Amino acid sequence: MSKSVPSFLQEEDPDRDGDSTYEDSYSRGSSSMTNLTHSSGMASLSSLSGSVMTIYSGDLGNIEVQGNIHFSINYIQKLREFHIFVAECRDLAAADLKRGRSDPYVKSYLVPDKANLGKRKTSVKKKTLNPTFNEILRYRVRMEYLRTQTLILSVWHHGTFGRNSFLGEVDVDLSKWDFDHTQMNYLILKARTIPTLAPSTGRGEMKLAIRFMPQINSIKDAPNTGEIHIWVKECKNLPLIRAAIDPYVKCFVLPDTSRKSRQKTRVLRRTADPVFNHTMVYDGIRDADLSEACVELTVWDRDRLASNLLGGLRVGAGTGKSYGALVDWMDSTSNEAALWDRMMASPNQWVEDVLPLRILNATKTALK
């Protein structure tokens, strides 16, 4: 079963630790992996809604981009908030060619780490190519972190049945931006160029220990299966994406992304150096599964409205394959794979390491 070693070094969040954006509610408890081998790696990718994934919704389509966007940006030091005032767009392309109109709205991202802070949206303006918004999109974020980001403002047509169409975008390199400049900006919209999201440095690190306990099952005539124990000890130097973060750790043993596979630590409040001392147990593991499975550990900041990804690890063989299928999530670094190899070579023994957190690659299937 899932169990915690109590730690009194940080204040524990008294509220429920579910995140409203990236996952559903869950049931804490032991996780059986007896169905691990019955689900191929390729089949499991279709259910990665709870695991790490990047979502690009909408249709880039064949609409020829035109027009411009008027906006201003400001950093409110007292609130530690980044404000984007979206005033209006002019001369947008028509998504509805027959009627010569669109139903536009504006969406904002901060990249390269857009999963951390999420997207913001304006309201939708109906039947117009010259929408006036006069809305503020807000991010709670520290200035030093903001300086590492690029702001992307994209304009979309809100179509029926969720089929939105891309109308253009602009990007602003915030590392070079003069934040004393709070006047209106008038930028021409351009066609989308998919950015290369390079992993950012300074994600922090995690101290953990793992062990494999073979042949735990003592039931007569039952197949011999064992358990993987994952002891999340602490994290250090997590990125401060806002004034104070409330971190927790989420775990899956891939390729299983079902609720039974999902376990969490508790949320610790207002710390970039959380001490969790939390042990997660997964049973139903055969020796043969060890070369096909991968432990995914991700660290999240629980904000009021959503949980934001800070970084993660994938401890496994790092072969790129699982049960004969090519999978993107079997991408362990050399240090992550070395810890897994030490675990396999030392059954019943804890093996420990301090591993740097990273931005985890999204799976190709999840992007479809």
- Cα separation, 323 vs 307, in Å, equals 32
CA nearest neighbour of 107 among 174, 197, 167, 178: 167
Instruction: Output the CA–CA distances (angstroms, integers) from residue 135 to 85, 124, 140, 165, in the order listed.
Output: 6, 11, 16, 21
Residue 258 has a pLDDT of 87
Considering 188, 209, 242, which residue would you say is the last residue of a domain?
A: 188
| Cis preceding linkage at 239, omega within 30 | no
Boundary of a domain, candidates 158, 188, 218: 188
pLDDT of residue 61: 60
Domain check: are 73 and 31 in the same one? no
> pTM here?
0.55
> In terms of domains, do 213 and 342 share one?
yes
Total domains in the chain come to 2
Q: Is the domain of 183 the same as that of 326?
A: no
Q: Per the domain annotation, does 78 fall within a domain?
A: yes
> 204 and 156, same structural domain?
no
**Domain around 209:** 3-55+200-367
The answer on 308 and 259 residing in a single domain is yes
What's the pLDDT score for residue 192? 76
Q: Which one-letter amino acid corresponds to residue 40? A: S
Q: Does some domain include residue 194?
A: no
Is the domain of 322 the same as that of 207? yes
In a domain, 49, yes or no: yes
CB contact at 8 A, 313 and 249: no
Token code pair at residue 66? 């035109």
Strand ranges for the chain from DSSP E: 3-4, 31-32, 68-76, 81-90, 104-111, 120-121, 132-140, 150-157, 165-173, 185-188, 205-213, 226-236, 247-254, 263-264, 275-285, 294-302, 307-316, 321-322, 325-326, 351-356
In contact, 350 and 232? CB cutoff 8 Å: no
243, 142 Cβ separation under 8 angstroms = yes
pLDDT in tens, the chain (368 residues): 334 443 333 333 333 333 323 333 222 334 555 445 433 333 332 223 334 433 234 455 678 899 999 999 999 999 999 999 999 999 999 998 889 999 999 999 888 764 467 789 999 999 999 999 999 999 988 898 888 889 999 999 998 877 889 999 999 999 889 999 889 999 999 987 544 444 445 789 999 999 999 976 555 656 678 999 999 999 999 998 888 899 999 999 999 988 888 999 999 999 999 999 999 999 989 999 999 999 999 999 998 777 889 999 999 999 999 999 999 999 999 999 999 999 999 999 999 999 999 988 754 323 22
In a domain, 193, yes or no: no
Q: How far apart are CA 264 and CA 262, in angstroms?
A: 7
At 327, which CATH number?
A: 2.60.40.150
Yes or no: say if 172 and 84 are a contact pair by the CB < 8 Å rule: no
Judge whether 21 lies within some domain.
Answer: yes
The answer to whether residues 356 and 246 belong to one domain is: yes
Q: How high is the pLDDT of residue 241?
A: 85
Look at strands 150-157 and 165-173 and give their pairing. antiparallel
* One domain, residues 36 and 119: no
Residue at 32 is within a domain:
yes
Taking the CA of residue 279 as centre, how many other CA atoms within 13 Å lie in the half-sphere pointing to its CB?
14
Report DSSP state, residue 131.
Answer: -
Q: Is residue 195 part of a domain?
A: no
Distance of CA 298 to the CA centre of its chain: 8
CA-to-CA distance for 28 and 74, rounded, in angstroms?
A: 42
Q: Are residues 33 and 81 in the same domain?
A: no
Query: Of 162, 188, 214, at which residue does a domain stop?
Result: 188
Residues 182 and 230 in one domain: no
**Are residues 309 and 205 part of one domain?**
yes
Residue 60 located in a structural domain: no
Name the token pair of 90: 């002019």
Produce one character per residue of 192-214: b if its CB has 16 or more CB atoms within 10 Å, e if not: eeeeeeeebeebbbbbbbbbbbe
CA distance 249 to 268: 10
Report whether 255 contacts 323 (CB < 8 A).
yes
- What local confidence, expressed as pLDDT, does residue 159 receive? 87
Specify whether 204 is located in the same domain as 89.
no
State the pLDDT at residue 274: 96
User: For tokens 């999109």, what's the residue?
Assistant: 137
